[in-house]
Amino acid sequence: MKGIFSISLTILLAFVIMSGIPSVLSDKAKAAAKDKTASKFLKEVSKKYKTYKSLKSEFSRLNEPADAKAAKKTEKGSLISKGDKYKFVFLGQEIFCNGKYIWSYTKGGDCTKENYKPSNGKGLNPTKIFSIWEKGFLYASDGSYKKGATEINKIKLTPTDKTKGYFLMNLEAEKVSKSLLSLKISYSDGHKETYNITSQTPNSSISDNTFEFDTKNYPGVEVIDLTK
Contact between residue 144 and residue 14 where contact means Cβ atoms under 8 Å apart: yes
Q: What confidence tens digit (pLDDT) does each residue in 69-83 have?
A: 999 999 999 999 998
* Domain 4-225 CATH class label: mainly beta
Residue 34 has what pLDDT? 55
Residue 124 has what pLDDT? 52
Residue 32 has what pLDDT? 52
Residues in the chain predicted with pLDDT less than 70, given as ranges, are: 1-34, 119-125
Q: What confidence tens digit (pLDDT) does each residue in 160-204 have?
A: 998 989 999 999 999 999 999 999 999 999 999 999 999 999 999
Residue 10 has what pLDDT? 27
Q: What's this model's pTM, rounded to 2 decimal places?
A: 0.78
